[in-house]
Structure 1
């Protein structure tokens, strides 16, 4: 079990309360979720688990990630947050990714995916972010995105337009998300908004676990 212990190290952030049957060992589910979020495709994870006598399909592994319902939970430790919006492609379809990152800890506080970008979708994202973290005294760091600045101004938030410095934290996170989504097309075979959103939140939890 030494190899299993090594693979399972540091994954207390995975809640397996969704497991109702003992068909698959819990350690295998934990390892499968972690390996996928760490960079392996679903099929690569399936083959990896075969080495340990666990025969599960890539669809089963996808379902583990989905059912785990991982969502980023953090605390705002800084007086600034880097926020951005970016178009990404999933199987050729365009979606708009919104994200907020603590520039001091590099933790992802919130990610949301929308089929379009408008003032309304921007306001939905900011409202949800504020409700989660109560950001009355936080300054938002933004670039010249179409809607973030105008909506922040209209709704009375403090913000500063900046291209470098602390705002680079969100750029690095977006770069990694874009790289991963372009590499793992089989994670979004149906291009369902809920499926992609669920994966993004799970990735955020994994990302944050690496920052501590």
Structure 2
């Protein structure tokens, strides 16, 4: 792992809009958020902050992530987009994490968490994706899921059935995300809204590290 002060110096992390209400210096908050999202557990993040003279508990670091409300940067113009979903467990309930990835850069373009997977929810996901990025001319790479293909058709998006090749990019993202959620005993002990905020923050960190 890089030295904590080097992470702060090299960071192009988004500005935190809530810092005026916090006693902790913004660089320390950014570092705590980054370290946790990049792979450290909350228990391992706290001692790093203590080494900087910032004594905070695990819940405080977790609250920073929620207050930051980070979102992947908008305005990308990809040639291809991979869309897929995977199961995420929140407490005792199964939810579906939808993700859109640019396979040429491996950047996460958009992520959302839904209680189920339907054509209507997939159409909603794609509508939000279109609002955030220039994807009307992109080729969407989808698997055989009928709701994905139907939603692309509804929005007039070009799509191609693909189970290998460029679609592996989203599988790599999901694999890393599964590795990270293993730190929470393979599930989130949180509300769906809290889990979704963490996942969107993870997307920001992922895009920085790739």
With normalisation by structure 2, the TM-score equals 0.90
Q: Kindly state the Cα deviation for residue 136 of structure 1 after the two structures are TM-superposed.
A: 1.7
In the other structure, the counterpart of 2:45 is 45
Instruction: Give the conservation status (yes or no) of the 8 Å contact 2:83–2:98.
Output: yes
Per-residue deviation, 1:106? 0.8
User: Is 139-148 or 87-96 further displaced after alignment?
Assistant: 87-96
Matched, 1:204 2:198: no
Distance 1:115 1:154, change over 3 A: same
Q: CA RMSD in A?
A: 2.0
Look up the match of 1:64.
64
Offset at residue 15 of structure 1 (A): 1.2
After superposition, residues 1-212 of structure 1 pair within 5 angstroms as 4-21=4-21, 23-185=23-185, 188-190=188-190, 192-211=191-210
Q: Residues 47 and 189 from structure 1, CA distance in 2 versus in 1: closer, same or farther, beyond 3 angstroms?
A: farther
Runs (5+) with no aligned partner, structure 2: none
Do the aligned partners of 1:89 and 1:182 also contact (CA within 8 Å) in 2? no
Superposition deviation, residue 176 in structure 1: 1.3
Contiguous gaps of at least 5 residues in structure 1? none
| Offset at residue 90 of structure 1 (A) | 2.9
Cα distance in 1 for residues equivalent to 2:17 and 2:123: 34
CA distance in 2, matches of 1:5, 1:45: 14
Given that residues 89 and 188 in structure 2 are in contact (C-alpha distance below 8 angstroms), is that contact kept between their aligned partners in structure 1?
Answer: no
- Once residues 54 and 105 of structure 1 are traced to their aligned partners in structure 2, the CA distance between those partners, rounded to angstroms, is 36
- 51-60 vs 156-165, which deviates more? 51-60
Alpha carbons 2:89, 2:187 under 8 Å: kept: no
| Separation in structure 1 between the aligned mates of residue 208 and residue 96 of structure 2, nearest angstrom | 25
